[in-house]
A = this chain, B = another copy of it.
Amino acid sequence: MEIGRPHSRLLLRLERFSDLSLDDRQRLFNLPLKVANYSADEEVVAHGDSSSRCTLVLSGFLCSHRTAAGSRRQITSFFVPGDVADLPSFYLPRVHFGIRALGPAVVAFMPHSSLREALDRSPALAQAFWRETLMQTTVLQEWIVNLGRRDAIARIAHVLCELAVRLQAVGLAREFSFSMSWTQMDVADASGISNVHANRIIQELRQLGLVEWDNKHVKIRDWDALARLGDFNDDYLKCPVTLREDRALCGQKA
């Protein structure tokens, strides 16, 4: 997997949904990135910290999480390569959720100061990031529905579907097959269930012939059935019309 060019990851990410000028691209490429490696379960940003940089995922997975009083950990979202995991830290003084590596991960840090400078000079870039944040709110709301109103098997199916689509979008899954360095415990913590129950549900998914899942590698054998089971519809991850399409639509109308 290509991590030699951290800036491209970011660029590709933003350009999926926003049109950037040459100048804007240049500005992104000029951001000083500092690459760092993390091993499984290592904390990248501690809960409660006030951070001076944003974290771009280059390889592996990060997650945002917190532990409720007297309960176990809850993962509130995960991040795949190309995602910026802690955009809120850019404008909010304190991070209210920890950022942690799910399996080994490679990240790049972008200093707030440089980012601020770039965004001050380019409203289009600021817009692109805002748009990312807005998409993030949609994903978070999906999770709320998932946790609030679906049973365990549907929850896990939904998480798997989201994972597959998001990985596919950045070229890290082919034919619904991808490597995933999560433990079953991570899956449980993302789905709001116990690890024991998660294990049983995963076995059920296997027995139903919906997924193969051995040793950090997942292959979805029956996408349609899994998506139906998880009440999953990928519109919310895809449909953001790019500015390009916006313009195309306008052009069509005119």
Q: Which residues of A contact B (CB under 8 A)?
A: 64, 66-74, 76-77, 87-88, 90-94, 96-97, 120, 123, 126-127, 129-131, 133-138, 140-150, 154, 191-192, 231, 235-236, 239-241, 246
Among the interface residues A76, A90, A231, which one has the most CB atoms of the partner chain B within 10 A?
A: A76
Distance (whole angstroms) from the CB of A17 to the closest CB of chain B: 9
Cα-based distance from A64 to B144 in the complex (angstroms)? 11
Q: How often does this chain occur in the complex, in copies?
A: 2
Which B residues lie within 8 Å of A68 (CB)?
A: 145-146, 148-150, 154, 231
Distance in angstroms between the alpha carbons of A138 and B94 in the assembled complex: 11
Among all A-B residue pairs, the 10 with the closest Cβ atoms: A148-B192, A140-B140, A68-B149, A147-B147, A76-B141, A69-B231, A93-B241, A74-B148, A71-B149, A130-B130
The 27 sampled A-B contact pairs (Cβ below 8 Å) are: A64-B141, A66-B141, A67-B149, A68-B154, A69-B231, A70-B231, A71-B149, A74-B148, A74-B149, A88-B135, A88-B137, A91-B134, A92-B131, A92-B135, A92-B138, A93-B239, A93-B246, A96-B138, A96-B235, A96-B236, A97-B138, A123-B123, A126-B130, A133-B133, A143-B144, A144-B144, A147-B148
